[in-house]
Amino acid sequence: MGPHDSSISAAAGSTSSSSSSSACSSSTKPPQPPDQMDHLLAGAGYKVRSNDLHQVAERLHRLETVMVKSNPLEISDLVNDAVHYNPADLASWVDSLLTELNTNPPVPVPTDLSDPHPNMNNMMYATNHAPHLQQVVAQPFEEDVSIQLVHVLMTCAEAVQRGDLSLAGLLIDDLQALLGRVNSGCGIGKVGSFFVDALSRRIVNSPENAAVHSDLSAYENEILYHHYYEACPYLKFAHFTANQAILEAFEGQDCVHVIDFNLMQGLQWPALIQALALRPGGPPLLRLTGIGPPSPDGRDSLREIGLKLAELARSVNVRFAFRGVAASRLDDVKPWMLQVSPKEAIAVNSIMQLHRLLGPNSSRGPPIDLVLDWIRDLNPRILMVVEQESNHNQPEFLDRFTEALYYYSTMFDSLDVCTAQPEKALAELYIQREICNVVCCEGLVRVERHEPLVRWRERLINAGFAPLHLGSNAFKQARMLLTLFSAEGYSVEENEGCLTLGWHSRPLIAASAWQAIPKPSPTMGPIIHP
Amino acid sequence: MAGSNEINANEAKKVVPLHTWILISNFKLAYNMLRRPDGTFNRELAEFLDRKVVANTVPVDGVYSFDVVDRTTSLLNRIYRCTSPENDSGHHSGAGVIELENPLSTTRIVPVIIFFHGGSFTHSSANSAIYDTFCRRLAALVEGVVVSVNYRRSPEHRYPCAYEDGWEALKWVHSRSWLSSGKDSKVHVYLAGDSSGGNIAHHVAHRAAVSGIEVLGNILLHPLFGGENRTESEKNLDGKYFVKLQDRDWYWRAFLPEGEDRDHPACNIFGPRGADLVGVNFPKSLVVVAGLDLVQDWQLAYVEGLKKAGQEVKLLFLKKATIGFYFLPNNEHFYTLMEEMKNFVNPSSSSSPPPPP
């Protein structure tokens, strides 16, 4: 069991611990270390340092006074034009509103996407107080057969973990029988069959055997990817949110360079090219470096995509240059291959790629550290990270299996609302391959090592990156994107400067933006650009 | 007028602890920005600002939670359960597999409280942090289950959507075998809610009563009622403790059918258009009134109305409490409330008549 977020447990907890106090104006809580987050407000979802409480109260009071004095139009403008960031940080949220409403000349829009109140201490909070919540949102399967199905799935997974493959094999037979009795068109029947299939593959084949598990050609892979892209909003959300953030990071820059960690079919880039074309003041020179696996069949698929994008760029008068970098693994990429120039503003774009680096260490050390290190050396204006919001990288097989069962059930549920075929069927196959990798594979071959946002935050902060908050405008636009999918169940949520997309109340994808903190030179301390 | 607002802010500060003042003031100011004069609501910004938490099958202080979506209605319910040897059957180590085969208990009665969160029909969700925290406390307090209903909100969904959703939730809860308990193997249901949630609880209870569906009790935490008349408390307390009368009016306009006034039976329970509860098998009620809530005269009228209709009701009047006093455990009203709710739901005390208020 993972450790819990201490602030939530304290707030949720025992009525016996605090003394009953009379209502009076001063706080009667036992004194807390001033640098700590106040645990009462943490239980309400706000991060306020204990020693900031009085200041926050005073600012709220001032904000109210100013709001009362302002005319309704001003308030309306405030609401419509102001971009709100990270509302969990109450102090800075109130400050930003006060700034907006004051009669001072408007603060010039920052040309990079920094937090309006860059504050090293904010970053320190994240480091010290990153919650280690093990959040598994269970999707209860209620009908009798479903309950049995989940039972036997768990028992089988447990047997696999213990190495009792003969028992596991028998249980697979039971599972097949149960599957015959459920509605295999939706719900547990659908996703359950994929998990049964994955378990049986694992029992039959050695988990380290790559050949058995990558049975599709690159071309077939792309077909599945494309249908997944159409059938549900997850990839579109990722691309859309990333492009928004990159656009803002590139404001005022004449030479920009996007490094895409997985070019695939380049579906993300037409929208960015068009947005840059329409930029007030005209488009910059755009360079795109697309990383992707080498094409086995003699095609240069990277170059093909590059050519198509170049054509599009030409048609909208955006000066564009493309470079493809073929690499089977991200940690095979060397920075010199990217040919960055010191004059350009760099955006690194990683859509569901970083988790692939969490596998076994190479001779050069942990692949993730290697890659984050050279990203930092590039000094990008923005590193965009989108990842699956789940922990499929736990050391114990059973834990991974359980978490994946619930994660992918939720994802399949969301797919249920898609009626277009063959988009839906092929999207399901795409997801099935992910499931297979999580369940069947180990070692180097297991690349779907998803970890949740809280862990990525820790990792990135430790690697020398500072968060760039995604604000209410990105949130609003993401919600508008969802209306295209006409399904009530999708939800975008704000999570301390990051955005998540989920199904009902379960986040499934998390998007976050980061800025590299330049490494300290040997003679001076780090120079932070606000 | 800056002057009177100064006075009001200082008054409020005198009676609530600092944390509460910060929390409720924050909501007040944020909500001011979300309500538009034309009656529309800035839902995007509201959702952005609302602090939400995910369900967590790993118990925290003895309570774990999970969400269930009712496929037929798309309604989400968040379930809170306590860990204990008898009702925690299939919990894998940290992996959170929910067992839904067994009743909560075959020997003792385990209360299931269906909770409707507040927010004047417009704000908040079942997964809002303040309500998640509150429901966890409630589940632990009664050593039972809390089902928090994510009902549809106004102005996008007006009357009677919230009541319909409440009714669906009640039926859903009653039909879950894994929520049943006791030797009689049935679901022992209570309804509860704060502010608009209290209003919803009343209407769902009423419908249950006339339909023959059992509800063992209602807990209404400063429930949202009103009427066309301006009462003394509304005049005296307008703007003094976080709430302005015009805000209350906005929310009623957003909830009630267009063109309706506040004497609509959804709002004014025992008013000129109110239903008659005489002879109705209405559950016993615990009505909690905050003495600094401007709506209190309507809540007190509700209590009187229940009594006149021969219904069992206990009034808990907390003279110096403001709205939202129960969000943080930092004041005496909070603890008084906890004690009262615990006794109310304790099956062994349900047969004795309530002490005089």
What is the residue-wise DSSP string for A451-501?
--HHHHHHHHHHTTEEEE---HHHHHHHHHHHHTTT-TTEEEEEETTEEEE
Residue B348 pLDDT? 64
d(C-alpha B197, C-alpha B221), whole Å: 8
Residue B114 pLDDT? 98
Does A27 contact B19 at a Cβ distance shorter than 8 Å? Answer: yes
Alpha carbon A149 to its chain centroid, in Å, reads 31
Residue A72 in tokens: 């309704």
**Percent of chain A clearing pLDDT 70 (strictly above):** 82
Residue A4 pLDDT? 26
Q: Please check whether residue A429 touches B, CB under 8 A.
A: no
Pick the catalytic residue from B165, B194, B247, B293. Answer: B293
Pick the catalytic residue from B120, B128, B154, B195. Answer: B195
Give strand pairing partners of A349: A260, A384
Task: Give the amino acid at A425.
Answer: A
Q: Is B128 a residue of the active site?
A: no
Nearest Cα of chain A lies from the Cα of B152 at a distance, in angstroms, of 12
Q: Where is average pLDDT lowest: A140-149, A230-239, B60-69?
A: A140-149
Query: Does the pLDDT value for residue A453 go beyond 90?
Result: yes
Residue A139 pLDDT? 55
Residue B353 pLDDT? 54
Q: Please tell me what DSSP assigns to residue B194.
A: E
* Spatial CB neighbours of A150, under 8 Å, sequence gap ≥ 6: A141, A188, A192, A405, B97
Task: Give the amino acid at A159.
Answer: A
Does A57 contact B25 at a Cβ distance shorter than 8 Å? Answer: yes
Nearest Cα of chain B lies from the Cα of A318 at a distance, in angstroms, of 33
Nearest Cα of chain A lies from the Cα of B273 at a distance, in angstroms, of 35
Q: Please check whether residue A443 touches B, CB under 8 A.
A: no
Residue A23 with chain B: CB contacts under 8 Å: 15-17, 320-321, 331-333
Q: Angle A90-101/A72-81 helices, nearest 10 degrees?
A: 130
**Is the separation of the CB atoms in A435 and A404 below 8 Å?**
yes
Residue A152 with chain B: CB contacts under 8 Å: none
* Segment A157-194, tens digit of pLDDT: 999 999 999 999 999 999 999 998 887 777 788 899 99
Q: Is B293 a residue of the active site?
A: yes
Higher pLDDT, A15 or B46: B46
Residues 87-106 of A with CB under 8 A from B: 87-88, 90, 94
User: What pTM was computed for the model?
Assistant: 0.85
Higher pLDDT, A40 or B346: A40
Residue A529 pLDDT? 52
Residue B6 with chain A: CB contacts under 8 Å: 65
Residue B13 with chain A: CB contacts under 8 Å: 25, 57
CA distances from A298 to A218, A295, B331 (A): 12, 6, 73
* Matching residue, tokens 């309604």: B75
Rounded average pLDDT over A116-124:
34
Does B96 contact A138 at a Cβ distance shorter than 8 Å? Answer: yes
Residue A221 pLDDT? 84
**Percent of chain A clearing pLDDT 90 (strictly above):** 60
**Is the separation of the CB atoms in A267 and A229 below 8 Å?**
yes
Burial letters for A189-210: b for 16+ Cβ neighbours within 10 Å, e otherwise?
Answer: bbbbbbbbbbbbbbbeeebeee
Residues 402-421 of A with CB under 8 A from B: 402-403, 406, 413
**Is the separation of the CB atoms in A131 and A93 below 8 Å?**
no
Residue A496 pLDDT? 94
Closest-CA residue in chain B for A50?
B19
d(C-alpha B176, C-alpha B103), whole Å: 9
Q: Please check whether residue A183 touches B, CB under 8 A.
A: no
Residue B268 pLDDT? 97
Closest-CA residue in chain B for A76?
B33
Nearest Cα of chain A lies from the Cα of B354 at a distance, in angstroms, of 25
Q: Where is average pLDDT lowest: A3-12, A129-138, B317-326?
A: A3-12
Beta strand A506-516 with A382-388 is antiparallel
Per-residue pLDDT of chain B (357 residues; tens, 9 = 90+): 444 555 566 778 888 999 999 999 999 999 999 999 999 999 999 999 999 999 998 899 999 999 998 878 888 999 999 986 544 444 433 445 677 888 999 999 999 999 999 999 999 999 999 999 999 999 999 999 999 999 999 999 999 999 999 999 999 999 999 999 999 999 999 999 999 999 999 999 999 999 999 999 999 999 999 999 999 999 999 999 999 999 999 999 999 999 999 999 999 999 999 999 999 999 999 999 999 999 999 999 999 999 999 999 999 999 999 999 999 999 999 999 999 999 999 856 544 455 555
Residue B96 pLDDT? 53
> For residues B248, B252, B255 and B260, what is the CA-based torsion angle, rounded to 10 degrees?
-170
How many A/B residue pairs have CB atoms within 8 Å? 240
Residue among B32, B48, B54 whose CB faces A472 most closely: B48
Does B100 contact A147 at a Cβ distance shorter than 8 Å? Answer: yes
- Report the half-sphere exposure of A283 (CA within 13 A, side-chain side): 19
Closest-CA residue in chain B for A401?
B95
d(C-alpha A179, C-alpha A191), whole Å: 10
Residue B93 with chain A: CB contacts under 8 Å: 1, 399
Residue A65 with chain B: CB contacts under 8 Å: 2, 5-6
* Matching residue, tokens 């109110």: B274
Does B338 contact A15 at a Cβ distance shorter than 8 Å? Answer: yes
Does B60 contact A56 at a Cβ distance shorter than 8 Å? Answer: no
Nearest Cα of chain A lies from the Cα of B110 at a distance, in angstroms, of 20
Burial letters for B291-323: b for 16+ Cβ neighbours within 10 Å, e otherwise?
Answer: bbbbbbbbbbbbbebbeebebebbbbebebbbb
Nearest Cα of chain A lies from the Cα of B147 at a distance, in angstroms, of 14
Nearest Cα of chain B lies from the Cα of A39 at a distance, in angstroms, of 10
Does B19 contact A40 at a Cβ distance shorter than 8 Å? Answer: yes
Query: Does the pLDDT value for residue A3 go beyond 50?
Result: no
Burial letters for B225-238: b for 16+ Cβ neighbours within 10 Å, e otherwise?
Answer: bbbeeebebbeebb
φ, ψ of residue A277 to 5 degrees: the values are: -60, -35
Residue B1 with chain A: CB contacts under 8 Å: 68
What's the whole-number average pLDDT of chain A? Answer: 83
Residues 34-73 of A with CB under 8 A from B: 38, 40-41, 43-46, 48, 53-54, 56-57, 60-61, 63-65, 67-69, 72
Residue A18 with chain B: CB contacts under 8 Å: 329-330
Residue among B22, B48, B331 whose CB faces A21 most closely: B331
Q: Please check whether residue A212 touches B, CB under 8 A.
A: no
pLDDT band at A13; cut points 50, 70, 90: very low
Residue A115 pLDDT? 39
* Most A-contacting residue of B16, B19, B99 (CB-CB within 10 A), to test interface: B19
Residue A413 with chain B: CB contacts under 8 Å: 69
d(C-alpha A454, C-alpha A476), whole Å: 23
Rounded average pLDDT over A51-64:
93
Q: Please check whether residue A487 touches B, CB under 8 A.
A: no
Give one word for A38, left, alpha or beta, with left for phi > 0 and alpha for psi -120 to 50. Answer: beta
Residue among B53, B97, B320 whose CB faces A154 most closely: B97
Nearest Cα of chain B lies from the Cα of A492 at a distance, in angstroms, of 9
Residue B101 with chain A: CB contacts under 8 Å: 147
3-class secondary-structure state, position B114: strand
3-class secondary-structure state, position B98: coil
Closest-CA residue in chain A for B48?
A494
Among A354, A312, A351, A303, which residue's Cα sits nearest to residue A331?
Answer: A354
**Is the separation of the CB atoms in A383 and A514 below 8 Å?**
yes
Residue among A84, A134, A150 whose CB faces B48 most closely: A84
Higher pLDDT, B88 or A351: A351
Does A137 contact B67 at a Cβ distance shorter than 8 Å? Answer: yes
3-class secondary-structure state, position B218: strand
Does A1 contact B32 at a Cβ distance shorter than 8 Å? Answer: no
Q: Please tell me what DSSP assigns to residue A332.
A: G
Residue among B2, B5, B74 whose CB faces A489 most closely: B74
φ, ψ of residue A516 to 5 degrees: the values are: -80, 135
Does A136 contact B37 at a Cβ distance shorter than 8 Å? Answer: no
Residue among B9, B17, B150 whose CB faces A23 most closely: B17
Nearest Cα of chain A lies from the Cα of B257 at a distance, in angstroms, of 23
pLDDT band at A117; cut points 50, 70, 90: very low
Residue B236 pLDDT? 95
